[in-house]
Amino acid sequence: MRKLGNRLLGATALLLLAAAPAAHAETLRLLTWGSYAPDELVKKFEAENPDIKVEVTFSNNEEMIAKLRATGGTGYDLAQPSHDRIYAAQLEYNIYKPLDLSKINVDQMAPNLVDGVKQNTTIEGQVYAVPHQWGTSGIMANKKEAPDAKSWADLCDAKYKGRTSMRLRRTILLGTAFSMGMNPFDLYADTAAYKDMLDKVTEKLIACKDNLKTYWTGGDDLSALMLSGEVVLSETWDSTAFKLYSQNPDIVFVPPETGALAWIDTFAMPRGGEADDAAYKWINFVIRPENVKVMSASTGSLAAVPNAADLLPDDKKAAVQAAFTQADLDNLKFFANIPPGIEDMEGIALERIKAATN
């Protein structure tokens, strides 16, 4: 027995010795969205850079900020918040560090998106983010059941009672405001007016609650609802709709007549990140055209590179063409930077809606 124990000890010691050199390898800790780090790309990246190991954590905008705030910006080396969620979070919680643009192949990115993101995320002359993927939020309709849907307000149309869904987050507040003839982005600066707008939207969405089947919480959840036919009309990310289009061509993305809401997911570096070089390598790696193709197939969104639409897989290309006309693209409403305090007001509105019974 003792002999066996000694042998085990010896074996463990050997294993530890063998494992020790591997610990020197750099680790790139990515904090990103589900599907933004497909296995294929991670493996390829690790094969190209044998001294870098990639660790991926899936999250969403709110959780990314909460996580980085809790750790003071440590624990991750590269994060991917949306472009409108960086400015206020950086001012208030100081969780990111400025990017060294000379280390990024910015010239390979779409210039208009780079400029847009720069405008949104420049603080004291320093740029905190570059674009990665972009897409829109709008509505998704099953054309067989809801052929005429064209506005955010249709989600509350009694015609589709018990057959619609939405995610109870800020997107639907903004979309509903647009459909009621208001422009929330113009009201950002005027807290009182914004509050007034939110009250109207809240009232509308509470009245609408009876019309909904449920609130969806994630892409998988929404996909199941749409594919099973339980829901025929829903607020959605366009990428989710494009994915479903390849499984059921009746399900299409409809840019609302007031304009689809456009977001850009970015690359930003947490303040306490320890693998900056690896992070820059990853950014430059995923914008190479052959990798963009793999990435877009996984995310279902357009990459922030000049000819992004051509780099989509065929089924997604068809879905995009079925969804957008040039007029829709001209009508996109890009999310504006959220000033501090706005999200707190929206939070109260969302809670009121969730708690309401009728």
**Residues found near other proteins in the complex (CB under 8 A):** 62-63, 65-66, 69, 91-92, 162, 168-169, 209, 212-215, 217, 228-230, 340, 343-344, 347, 350-352, 354-355, 357
Is the Cβ of residue 8 or residue 70 nearer to other proteins in the bound state?
Answer: 70
Cα–Cα distances in angstroms (integers) from residue 256 to residues 163, 178, 355, in the given order: 18, 10, 27
Is the Cβ of residue 34 or residue 289 nearer to other proteins in the bound state?
Answer: 34
Would strands 26-32 and 52-58 be described as parallel, antiparallel, or unpaired? parallel
Read off φ and ψ for residue 234, nearest 5 degrees. Answer: -150, 150
Is the Cβ of residue 62 or residue 115 nearer to other proteins in the bound state?
Answer: 62
**Conformation bin of residue 232: beta by default, left when phi > 0, alpha when psi is -120 to 50:** alpha
Cα–Cα distances in angstroms (integers) from residue 10 to residues 4, 19, 199, 208, in the given order: 10, 14, 69, 68
Is the Cβ of residue 113 or residue 338 nearer to other proteins in the bound state?
Answer: 338
The least distance separating other proteins from the CB of residue 81, rounded to whole angstroms, comes to: 13
Q: Which residues contact 349 (CB under 8 A, 6 or more apart)?
A: 173, 198, 199, 201, 202
- Is 48:95 a contact under the CB 8 Å cutoff? no
The least distance separating other proteins from the CB of residue 56, rounded to whole angstroms, comes to: 20
Instruction: Supply 152's token pair.
Output: 């955010």
The least distance separating other proteins from the CB of residue 341, rounded to whole angstroms, comes to: 10
**Residue listed under structure tokens 């996909």:** 223
Is the Cβ of residue 60 or residue 284 nearer to other proteins in the bound state?
Answer: 60
The least distance separating other proteins from the CB of residue 66, rounded to whole angstroms, comes to: 5
Is the Cβ of residue 102 or residue 357 nearer to other proteins in the bound state?
Answer: 357
The least distance separating other proteins from the CB of residue 347, rounded to whole angstroms, comes to: 4
The least distance separating other proteins from the CB of residue 22, rounded to whole angstroms, comes to: 30
- Is 128:299 a contact under the CB 8 Å cutoff? no
The least distance separating other proteins from the CB of residue 186, rounded to whole angstroms, comes to: 23
Is the Cβ of residue 310 or residue 351 nearer to other proteins in the bound state?
Answer: 351
Cα–Cα distances in angstroms (integers) from residue 14 to residues 1, 5, 20, 155, 347, in the given order: 20, 14, 10, 63, 54
The least distance separating other proteins from the CB of residue 62, rounded to whole angstroms, comes to: 5
Instruction: Supply 220's token pair.
Output: 């998988």
Neighbour-count burial of 237, counting CB atoms closer than 10 A to its CB (0-12 exposed, 13-18 middle, 19+ buried): buried
The least distance separating other proteins from the CB of residue 214, rounded to whole angstroms, comes to: 4
Is the Cβ of residue 45 or residue 194 nearer to other proteins in the bound state?
Answer: 194
Q: Which residues contact 66 (CB under 8 A, 6 or more apart)?
A: none
Is the Cβ of residue 61 or residue 258 nearer to other proteins in the bound state?
Answer: 61
Cα–Cα distances in angstroms (integers) from residue 155 to residues 205, 256, 302, in the given order: 10, 11, 26
